Amino acid sequence: MEEVSKTMLTFLFCISTLLPCIHSRTGNHHHKHQHQHQHHKSSSIALPPSPDSHILDDLSPSTSPAPSPFSDNIFNVRSFGAVGDGVADDTEAFKTAWDSACEASPAVVLVPASFTFMIQSTIFTGPCQNGIVFQVEGVIMPPDGPDSWPANIHRKQWLVFYKADGLILHGGGLIDGRGEKWWNLPCKPHKGANGTTLPGPCDSPVALRFFSSSNITLHGMKIINSPQFHVRFDNCKNISVDSVSITSPAHSPNTDGIHIENSISASIHNSIISNGDDCVSIGAGTFNVDINNVTCGPSHGISIGSLGKQNTHACVSNITVKNAVIKNSDNGVRIKTWQGGSGTVSSVKFQDIHMDNVRNPIIIDQYYCLIKECANQTKAVSVSNIAYTNIKGTYDVRSPAVHFGCSDSRPCTNITVSEIELLPANGVSIADPFCWNVYGAMDTVTIPPLFCILDGLPRTIMDDDAEKC
Ligand SMILES: *[C@@H]1O[C@H](CO)[C@@H](O)[C@H](O)[C@H]1NC(C)=O
Ligand SMILES: *[C@@H]1O[C@H](CO)[C@@H](O)[C@H](O)[C@H]1NC(C)=O
Ligand SMILES: *[C@@H]1O[C@H](CO)[C@@H](O)[C@H](O)[C@H]1NC(C)=O
Ligand SMILES: *[C@@H]1O[C@H](CO)[C@@H](O)[C@H](O)[C@H]1NC(C)=O
Ligand SMILES: *[C@@H]1O[C@H](CO)[C@@H](O)[C@H](O)[C@H]1NC(C)=O
Ligand SMILES: *[C@@H]1O[C@H](CO)[C@@H](O)[C@H](O)[C@H]1NC(C)=O
Ligand SMILES: *[C@@H]1O[C@H](CO)[C@@H](O)[C@H](O)[C@H]1NC(C)=O
């Protein structure tokens, strides 16, 4: 995401969601028993012939994560009154199905195939004692654009899972964010003349948000056309994302694929993302992320940051990106920090990555700035122990293949490169790799050569607490 500070957003999200979160679940409590009854009455119709039948299978049979005890406890949203014609408001039915399943957990909330459910912004709140499966086989979509969004419901998020420890969200269905009218708001980038933006309300909902949840699995879903980020994790622990497909147009603003912030332990595997902003973005307070076999593009690449905006403290470490393909993207693998921040990005590995016509395939930018001019500041989020290994393919010659723009006061240290082979995708490259205050080593000869990386350590190292994490 390029436009607003993510840290700031999280802060706003937290403030704005805590109350409704708590409210949503307790608020529905009195409905539960009444609908529980309804569920049992109609579940004989909704249930598949045998608990083991296809309805619990994921598209890839070997990876169905639903444990067997869940399968005889299915809460079909249609049994709770959801219509599924794409017009009727099915919000209450979804909420009641969730609350009932949560109370009876382990249980499955089933969104059946062949129906399109329109639901408003909703917070599905746990915890559910023994885990819960939210199985989407049909289509879920929000009201169509800002004009249809109820005025009293805030516009920063749509489907939210809060305190949903042990949640498995999976299925062969589709989450369609219907983003088009949001992308066209006058406030969005380039909607004014000459690439400017116009004033006006700009909040747009994240399609799928996980907040304060542990042990969550997002598996095999298709998520398209989010008004803003497609998937966002805040304050979560032990996240597993696998076989997810995310698609929105290359011109759709701020539609990051998967954003992770203030979270510990996440894997993102076997997923395909094409969108109008970062493919995967990693925000402050995030540790132990493993990204493997992800294909990005068009997109703005895989990013750590932006970090340190408005003098904030940001720490990110132990991030691995392996077996990625990045194509037709504005950036490949990127670390971006604002001047004036503090904290550290460290222990990051970018390995076995194929670039195809990418601008800035390898970039560290410690002068990240989206306003006209950012004042020079001495403080910076430090960047160290970053390894780039086996990164090959082609780049768009409008930018150098490698750009290491490190801070004057806190140079990047222990930046290592090996087996880099980046060739111009089109025409002749005139720009040499860019290096500024970058220390480390070229472990093998690279194409283009990176002799501009300085050996050893900078002569003066700032000795203060600003880097502490
Ligand atoms: C997460 O899963 C682990 C392992 O199954 C379990 O020990 C832990 O209690 C779970 N955490 C939460 C918050 O449910
Ligand atoms: C857009 O740019 C053109 C050419 O530079 C200029 O003549 C015009 O006034 C600009 N329009 C606005 C609204 O800034
Ligand atoms: C992480 O979550 C998964 C899925 O809920 C669970 O099986 C696993 O035990 C958890 N791991 C840890 C270390 O908590
Ligand atoms: C990589 O991900 C793609 C897309 O999900 C999948 O088809 C492929 O089997 C995965 N490759 C491996 C080695 O798992
Ligand atoms: C780094 O993250 C991986 C998961 O991606 C985890 O298995 C490993 O233990 C972490 N290493 C450290 C030192 O925390
Ligand atoms: C920041 O420093 C650079 C390099 O010394 C200089 O070119 C630039 O003009 C400065 N920017 C501002 C806003 O002072
Ligand atoms: C340099 O970074 C690598 C990881 O990229 C790490 O294994 C190594 O220990 C670091 N070296 C120093 C001296 O910190």
For 79-102, give the secondary structure using H, E and C: HHCCCCEEEEECHHHHHHHHHHHH
Does the Cβ of 195 fall within 6 Å of ligand 2?
Answer: no
Distance CA 209, CA 206 (A): 7
Report the nearest-CA residue for atom 5 of ligand 3.
Answer: 215
* 0.85 surpassed by pTM: yes
Alpha helices in 204-343, H assignment, sequence order: none
Question: Can you tell me the distance from the alpha carbon of 111 to that of 109, in angstroms, rounded to the nearest whole number?
Answer: 7
Residue 272 lies in a domain: no
| pLDDT tier, 371 (very low <50, low <70, confident <90, very high otherwise) | confident
Distance CA 152, CA 150 (A): 6
| Closest protein CA for atom 2 of ligand 7 | 385
**Measured from the CB, is residue 371 less than 6 Å from ligand 6?**
no
- 39 domain-assigned: no
169 and 87 housed in the same domain: yes
- Same domain for 248 and 135, yes or no, is yes
> Dihedral of CA 250/255/257/262: which sign?
positive
Under the banding of pLDDT at 50, 70 and 90, the label for residue 431 is confident
Query: CA angle, 225 as apex, 193 and 333 as ends, to 5°?
Result: 80
11 part of a folded domain: no
| 11 pLDDT tier (thresholds 50, 70, 90) | very low
Position of tokens 């399968």?
71
Q: Within this chain, do residues 185 and 315 fall inside the same structural domain, yes or no? A: no
**How close is the Cα of 195 to the center of ligand 2, in Å?**
10
Same domain, 315 and 231: no
DSSP notation for 408-452: SSS-EEEEEEEEEEEEESSS---PPPEEESEEEEE-S--BS--TT
Whether residue 291 is predicted with pLDDT greater than 50 in this model: the reply is yes
pLDDT band for position 355 (cuts 50, 70, 90): very high
Confidence of residue 429 (pLDDT cuts 50, 70, 90): confident
Residue type, 65: P
pLDDT band at residue 190, thresholds of 50, 70 and 90? confident
Q: What is the pLDDT of residue 8?
A: 39
Chain Cα centroid distance, residue 299 = 13
Q: Pick the ligand that lies closest to the CA of residue 214.
A: 1
Same domain flag for 159 and 300: no
Indicate whether residue 373 lines ligand 6 (CB < 6 A).
Answer: yes
Q: Which two tokens stand for residue 71?
A: 């399968």
Higher-pLDDT residue of 248 and 20 is 248
Identify whether residues 314 and 377 lie together within a single domain. yes
Residue minimizing CA distance to atom 4 of ligand 4: 270
Residue 175 falls inside a structural domain: yes
- Index of the ligand 5 atom closest to the CA of residue 318: 1
CA of 340 to the centre of ligand 6 (A): 14
Whether residues 114 and 223 share a domain: the answer is: yes
Q: Which atom of ligand 4 is nearest to the CA of 293?
A: 1
Residue 335 sits in the same domain as residue 432: yes
* Distance, CA of 80 to CA of 424 (rounded, Å): 57
In terms of Cα–Cα distance, which of 157, 167, 204 is closest to 20? 157
In this predicted structure, the answer to whether residue 32 has a pLDDT above a threshold of 60 is no
Integer CA distances (angstroms), 429 to 363, 395, 398, 399, in order: 17, 9, 8, 8
Q: Which residues are catalytic?
A: 277, 300
**Residue 151: inside a domain:** yes
pLDDT score of 44 more than 50: no
Q: Is the per-residue pLDDT at 40 higher than 60? A: no
The alpha carbon of 319 and the centre of ligand 5 are apart by a number of angstroms equal to 8
What is the domain range of residue 175? 54-192+206-257
Which CATH number does the domain housing residue 352 bear? 2.160.20.10
pLDDT band at 2 (very low <50, low <70, confident <90, very high): low
pLDDT in tens, 67-102: 444 667 999 999 999 999 999 999 999 999 999 999
174 plus 316 within the same structural domain: no
Mean pLDDT of 138-144: 98
Which residues share a beta bridge with 435?
Answer: 404
Task: Give the pLDDT score at 1.
Answer: 54
**What confidence category does residue 23 fall into, taking pLDDT thresholds of 50, 70 and 90?**
very low
* Residue 221 domain flag: yes
Residues 366 and 250 in one domain: no
In a domain, 379, yes or no: yes
| 134, two tokens | 């939210």
Rounded mean pLDDT, 213-230: 98
Straight-line distance from the first to the last Cα atom of the chain, in angstroms, rounded to the nearest whole number? 24
For residue 238, the CA-to-ligand 1 centroid distance in Å is 9
Residue nearest to atom 10 of ligand 5 (CA): 288
Residue 122 lies in a domain: yes
Per the structure, the count of domains in the chain is 2
Per-residue pLDDT tens for 244-280? 999 999 999 999 999 999 999 999 999 999 999 999 9
Is 307 within 8 Å of 283 (Cβ atoms)?
A: yes
Of the ligands numbered here, which is closest to the C-alpha atom of 238?
A: 3
List the one residue out of 396, 450, 393, 388 whose CA is nearest residue 419: 388
Mean pLDDT, the chain, rounded, equals 87
Report the sign of the C-alpha dihedral through residues 78, 79, 82, 83, in that order. Answer: positive
Are residues 307 and 248 both part of a single domain?
A: no
My answer on whether 242 and 361 are in the same domain is no
Q: Is the CB of 378 under 6 A from ligand 6?
A: no
Atom of ligand 1 nearest to the CA of 127: 14
For ligand 3, is residue 166 a contact (CB within 6 Å)? yes
- Nearest-CA neighbor of 110 among 101, 121, 119? 101
